[in-house]
Each structure stands twice: as C-alpha cells, then as structure tokens.
Structure 1
Amino acid sequence: MGCCVSTNIGGKQRTRKTFSDHVSAFQHTSSIPNRIFANGKSRSSCIFTQQGRKGINQDAMIVWEDFMAEDVTFCGVFDGHGPHGHLVARKVRDTLPIKLFAFLDSYKSKKNRSNTFICCNGDPGLDETADCEEEKPELLWSEAFLKSYKSMDKELKSHPNLDCFCSGSTAVTIVKQGSNLFMGSIGDSRAIMASKDINDSLIAIQLTVDLKPDLPREAERIKRCKGRVFALQDEPEVSRVWLPFDDAPGLAMARAFGDFCLKDFGVISIPEVSHRILTESDKFIVLASDGIWDVLSNQQVIEIVSSAPTRSSAARILVDSAAREWKSKYPTSKMDDCAVVCMFLDGKMDSESDNEEHGFSSATLQSNAGESDDGQNPEPFLQRNPTVRSSKEINSDAHRREQNNVAVEGNGDATTIEVNEDQNWSGLEGVTRVNSLVQLPRFSQEQPRT
C-alpha cells in the first residue's frame, strides 16, 4: 500500500492571492482598479451607452483590465428587459465576472493542493496525481463560463429584493488572455471582430450567435418543453416565446438571465461558449446590444469604428450613427437603448491631448461611482444615471454633430462567420422591439417582492 507525503514543488513557497483576499474589494465593485462601466475609456477599450425612447436605460456594459492577471481582460454587454430589466442587467454586470474569477481561483487552488502530494508505491518516480495532465485552457474556460452563468441565474432566482419573474437580461461576454479569446453569450446581444483579409481590407467576423426563438434548435427545445414560439401579426419578423396556455409574456429571445416565468418552458441561461486564437490580422472587437444591430450591419459597424477620428470616441460615434439610422429608417418607431464596447487588440489607446481635442476630458472618462451596482434596493433605482442623457441633451448633441459633420457612414455587406439567420434584421416601423412584458396588464402592475 502506497504512502502519501506532502512536499513543496519547486522549492521556495510562493505566496499567491486567493479569492478570499479579494472579497472586501468586491463588496464595492465601483472602486476596483482597471474596471470601467460608465461612458469612458481604459488602456485598450472605450465604452458608451445611450438611453433610447422606451424609458430608463436598461443596458449595461463593463471592461475589466488586469482581470485575474495582467494579460487578461474581461468585457461584457448586458441588455435588460421587463419591468426591472435595468436592475437585472446591472446585477449581472457586477456579479458575473466575480463568479468567473471565483471559479478559476478555486480551480487553481485545488490544482496547487493536488500537486503538493506525491503518492508512492515502491516506484518513487511514479506520480499518480489525477491532475498530472495539464487541462487545455479552452476546456477550463468553457467550464468556467457554464458554471458561472448557472450560478448567476440561480442567484437571481433567490435574490430577496430583485424580482426576476418577468424581467431578465442578455449577456455577451469575452475574456482575452494573451492571444486566446474565450466567449460566452445568451440572448441577442452580439460580438464581432474586425480583421484584415488577404487584400488588407477590414472585414467583419461575427463571434457570437443571436440566440433568438426562431433559430430551429432553439424553437425545437422550447416547443419540447411545452412553450410556444410565434410572432404577432403586427410584427411578423419578431418571433417570441409564450406560455403554453396564455399569450404572455412574449420574450424575444430564447436564452436569458431571469425570466423565470418561462424557465420551465424552454428558455434557458446556458451560454453558447466558443474559443478563438487571435492573429496579427485581427484588429478590434465590438460588443453591443441589439439597439445597434437592429439598424446597422456587421460591416457597417466595423467601418464606423475604424473611421472614428480617435479610438476613444469610437463607441460614442457608433451609438450616434445608430441613433441617426433609427430616425432615418424607422421615424415612427421607438429607438432602443444602445450600449457598445470597443476593444482594440493591440492594447493601445489615444493620448490625452487627442481625447480633449475630440470632447473627452479626464472627468468625463472616469467611471460613475454613484451608480447602483448591486440592485439591492427593494424598489427600482430610478435616479437619473449620469451615463444617460436627457432628450434635450441628445437633441443638442445631434444638432452639433450635424453642423460639424462628425458622422461616419458605413457601407457594404457584412462578412461574417456562418450563422443560420438574417444578420441585418431591423425593427418594423411603428413597432417597438422590446419585450411585450411591460405592455401586458397582468405583468405591468407587478411590484418587486420585498
């Protein structure tokens, strides 16, 4: 029978921070270094969000550089829906990356402990440790995304002050670790990448799939669980998920956080996970909510971002371009909220002088520490968010931009990875694309649980 002895692999013991060392910092996420979630920029990224014409801005976004390690960056965009969608999106924004962090930290701790035990049975050179074979990073990150998303949805379900029965959020999240890109997403927020082709032209590569109810595999699962999928007569291009015996709630996506009224009928929170190796041809990544994709093609987005006068203004200019497209194409429709993250893969950003020249001062580029991070309030947090501009401010900015001709117009067709759906879907005139939850009397009167 073999004996086990504890040993220190590598000689000198190295002190390593564990997840418990970061708990106190995570209690106040707005103070975490290298994490931005309001309009502004980081070392390699810029982010911008603008309220639409459907009420409070329900979009949220985040860039977290030096996430776990110096060469790791976490980015995400979250689009809330339903009466408390803005709170759900913010809660997911603040909690999901911490869950990813916790899972990976726990895995590393267990691996380090297992490597300190050498079991011998007469052959001192035989290592029977179960983890002797190095796990592939893509498998580890895939498991991390799956378990973190599951834990996130479980926490929302049991949250004492956040009613997610008829409210939820999408999520498109990426982690860049060196030349590795790991992705996890649910709902219809999207990530694309700009890459140079053999002719040195920028093309758009779609990184995630819009998980809508009209996708055959999604519709099959929902129907198998007794849910129904169909579009209303006045919006035939928007498939929605409905309860088996009631024309409610009409969810316009097949996967989402929250929306527990439909979780027994085929709507899931299991992310679509993928991995990609970055090359020198890959230039930047854009994550955005569907307020962008409803009116702009993938290729148009790439051209707008690449033509921005400064990198730090790229996200703002993209949102401005989408706003003009909403007004031009669908003047009677309510513009959706827009949230954008632009991450430049060479890790470079503009100088401070360039930012000031194009209207970004140091003050406007700082994160908004006053925003409610955790959604703990029993009532929806309805104070005006500094990242959301009033209609007067929006109209003033639009007038100024028209005078200065700052707009960058894109053209051309999108070149994407193979996805079995229409990449250029746009909202119908006179019809809002939001969930019909808030329009149904039985759901609109619900109050948050205390």
Structure 2
Amino acid sequence: MGACCTKDGRCRGFMGDLVEWKEDEAGEEIDIRRGSDAGDLIRLKGSSSFTSMYTQQGRKGINQDAMTVWEDLSGEKEMFFCGVFDGHGPQGHRVAHHVRDNLPSKLSAALKISQRHQKKYSKLDVDVTDTDDDSSGNCNSRVDIKDRPRNPSSQNISLASWEGTFVKSFKETDEELCLNSSIDSFCSGTTAVTIVKQGHHLIIANLGDSRAVLCTRGDNNQLLPIQLTVDLKPDVPSEAERIMNCRGRVFAVEGQPDVYRIWMPDEDCPGLAMSRAFGDFCLKDCGLISVPEVSYRNLTIKDEFVVLATDGGHYHTCKTSDFQELKPLDGLPFFAGMGCVNKR
C-alpha cells in the first residue's frame, strides 16, 4: 500500500488554514495539493523532477509507513521538506499520518515567523566550509549543528534558529497529538526522519531509528553511502542515561539479545525499541522524548541524492552495492517506506 491519506483526512496549511484532501472522478485520492496561501506544493506519493516516494505493504498487516514532500516550503522557491514516518503500535498508522499532515505546516509557519523577524529571507546563506569528504562510505559520518560555524551578520535564518525551529515544531506536533482524542497514542507512536533542502544546504532532523543516507561519489566516481543520522536507540549511552534518570528501564528480552527496549518502571511493557518518538505517551515520563537530533550538511558536487528510509529499508542503505543499483533507476527508491530527493 502506498503512502496515502484517509478519505476524510485534512491537512492544516500555514497559520491553521485547512486544506481538504480531494478525490478525482474515479474516487482515487489526488496525490498533489496546494497548501494554503504560502504556496507549498504537497505530495504524498509518486515522483517529480526532484523527489520520489515509494512504500510497499509488508507481511505484518497494515502498512504503518507514511511520507510527504512539500515543495516551495513556506513559499520559498526550491526549498524542499521531505519526511518519512514509521508508525508502531495498534494505532501507529494513524499517528504516522497525523504527524505527516501536521509537522510540515508547523515548520512552515515557524519559518514564516523567522522571515518576518529577520526582514529578508530568500536563501540559506551561512558561512561554512565544505563538509569533510568521507569517500570511505563510513555509515556514521555526520556533523551536528553546534559544530558548524555561524555567520552572525547574516540577515538569513541561522543554523541555531533552524535547530530551534525544528525542536519547536516537533514539540507542538507531539503536544497536539496528545490532545487528539480520536487517536489512541498512549501505546502507539511513530519515528520521523526529515530534511529541509535549499540549494546546497541540507538540514536533517531525526527522531527514532529511521535513517537519512546520502549517496555521494568516491575518488573513482563510484557511488558511496554516507549515513547522515544516528539511530536513536535505548542502548546508546546518552539515551540510556536519560531514560534511567527518569526511572525508565532498558534491557533486551530473551530471544532478542541485541534489541534493547524501554520499559516502564514497574511493568514489563511496552518494550519500545527506540529512545525518541512521537506519541507513546505511556513512556513520556520514563525518558522517551520527542526532541529531534538536528544536524547540517553542505552538499558538494560529488553528492547525488539523499534517501530517507524506515528500518524496513535502511538495513540495505549502507551497502555500496545497493547504491550501484540505484544508478540506472535515476535515483528512484525501491525499498519499502522510502523517499528520495535528488541533489539538483
């Protein structure tokens, strides 16, 4: 099943304007919509000149993946928002769709506010050097926002502001989800891996264990994968420390010794295999948070495209051979729950 919205679904555009999901004459949901007066072009599946999305029904029942691409985010030409969301729990598909439909509009609204505050905002223009070339294909290559130099005299939004904007948007989306009585998100939630791309600037915000992987060229022009995100799992030392400080417990169960999970203080449930997520409010007092890890990359001429994938697909995305297979497909993704955005 592809990424889609329920027939009675809606998406909030900039500053709360409602955008109705519409159907064509055959009753099929239209994949492309215009998001309010900000000019955002919203896609839920399919491909364009710059992006492609694909998801496939697995063997576990309902497909809980969701994804979206917003072109001209916040009215800015050639600014793309891409997000992939992997739901879990009984209502995980509904949580994933809720986040898909609400997070981008909150980010768009926050960017509009930054526009007004800074008077002028046409393109990201930060004083940074090229990222270190990792032609080895190391799957752990990444740079945190705080490690990037800033241009304090720039009238454009700073990298620190980008981080604050993402954190604020994620927090508001999670709070809104908590108040939504139509979705039981007490033991259901979703991951989120998102990017905003404008020109050669790439901002990545990650929540959970979905991944962003960059395809770049090595010294011999071969395609190489570079992982842009870190899997936020309960056994990551800093994550485990936060969870245990909140009286949550972290351990693996018999039969799955390599999969560490979060458990409530006095009950052996729910056993969540990630340390950050939207929803899952039964664990929000036990160290689970909805604060994304935000990072930045300066794209170079060697970089080809970025793949966003759920854990059903990203097990393959750090293999060089898989990126070689992507080449004849012109960068189109083919793993379940995956979105792809070209560099150009």
**Corresponding position: 1:98 with 2:105:** yes
Selected match of 1:109 from 116, 122, 132: 116
1 CA distance for matches of 2:245 and 2:161?
Answer: 31
Gaps of 5+ in 1: 1-18, 114-130, 320-337, 347-450
1:174 aligns to 2:195 (yes or no)? yes
Distance between the aligned counterparts of 2:227 and 2:13, measured in 1?
A: 37
Q: Does 1:76 align with 2:83?
A: yes
Number of residue pairs matched by the alignment: 287
- Counterpart among 156, 163, 171 of residue 142 in structure 1: 163
1:88 corresponds to which residue?
95
Please give the alpha-carbon distance, in whole angstroms, between the structure 2 residues aligned to 1:134 and 1:111: 6
Residue 341 (structure 1) aligned with residue 309 (structure 2): no
CA displacement at 1:220 relative to structure 2: 1.1
Amino acid at match of 1:261: C
Distance 1:301 1:108 in 2: 40
Q: 2:183 — aligned with what?
A: 162
CA 1:294–1:20 in structure 2 vs 1: closer, same or farther (change >3 Å)? Answer: closer
Give 1:239's match in structure 2, choosing from 239, 244, 260.
Answer: 260
Question: How far apart, CA to CA, are the structure 1 residues paired with 2:295 and 2:337?
Answer: 22
Match of 2:299 in 1: 278
The residue that corresponds to 1:58 in the other structure is 64
Deviation at 1:34, TM superposition (A): 3.2
Question: How far off its partner does 1:252 sit?
Answer: 0.6
**Match for 2:47 among 41, 44, 48?**
41
RMSD: 2.2
User: Which has the larger displacement, 92-101 or 295-304?
Assistant: 295-304
The 3 A distance-change label for structure 1 pair 21 and 53 is: closer
CA distance in 1, matches of 2:183, 2:88: 13
Q: Which residue matches 2:211?
A: 190
> How many Å apart are 1:136 and its aligned residue?
4.9
Residues 49-69 of structure 1, C-alpha deviations (whole Å, 9 max, x = no match): 011111110000111211121
Structure 2 distance, partners of 1:237, 1:184, is: 26
Whether contact under 8 Å (2:187, 2:279) holds in the other structure is: yes
Q: How many percent identity over aligned positions? A: 46
**Cα deviation code 1:14-69 (max 9, x no counterpart):** xxxxx99774454559632632112x101211110011111110000111211121
TM-score under structure 2 length normalisation = 0.78
Deviations 1:214-239 (A, max 9, x none): 11111111111111111111111111
Whole-Å separation in 2 of the counterparts to 1:79 and 1:345? 24
Separation of aligned partners in 1, 2:51 and 2:114: 29
Matched, 1:267 2:273: no
* Residue deviations 1:207-263 (CA, integer Å, cap 9, x gap): 111101111111111111111111111111111110111110000100000000000
Partner residue in 2 for 1:435: none
Mapping of residues 306-321 of structure 1, within 5 Å: 306-308=327-329, 310-311=330-331, 314-315=332-333, 318-319=334-335
**Conservation of the 8 A alpha-carbon contact between 2:118 and 2:157:** no
Q: C-alpha distance in 2, partners of 1:210/1:286?
A: 15
Deviations 1:374-409 (A, max 9, x none): xxxxxxxxxxxxxxxxxxxxxxxxxxxxxxxxxxxx
Q: Does residue 1:220 correspond to 2:241, yes or no?
A: yes
1:152 maps to what in 2?
173
Alpha-carbon distance change, 56 to 296 in structure 1, aligned in 2, over 3 angstroms:
same
Instruction: Output the amino acid matched with 2:304.
Output: K
Q: Any stretches of 5+ residues in structure 2 without a counterpart?
A: 1-11, 23-31, 35-39, 121-151
Q: Structure 2 CA distance, aligned partners of 1:229 and 1:268?
A: 15
* Shift of residue 307, structure 1, vs aligned partner: 3.5
The aligned counterpart of 2:33 is 31
2:232 pairs, out of 196, 211, 223, with 211
Question: C-alpha distance in 2, partners of 1:288/1:281?
Answer: 21
Give the corresponding residue for 2:277.
Answer: 256
Amino acid at match of 1:343: V
Partner of residue 230, structure 1 = 251
More strand by share: 2
Residue equivalent to 2:326: 305
The answer to whether the 8 Å contact 1:25/1:31 transfers is no
Larger radius of gyration: 1
- Indicate conservation of the 8 Å contact 2:66/2:100, yes or no: yes
Tell me how far apart the structure 2 counterparts of residues 201 and 250 of structure 1 sit (CA, whole Å).
41
In structure 2, the partner of 1:376 is: none
1:201, CA displacement in angstroms?
Answer: 1.8
SS in 1 for 2:96: helix
Kept in 1: contact 2:240–2:250 (CA 8 A): yes
Task: Call closer, same or farther: CA 1:182–1:85 in 2, change over 3 Å.
Answer: same
Distance across 2 between alignment mates of 1:221 and 1:287: 27
| Higher RCO, Cα 8 Å, sep 6+ | 1
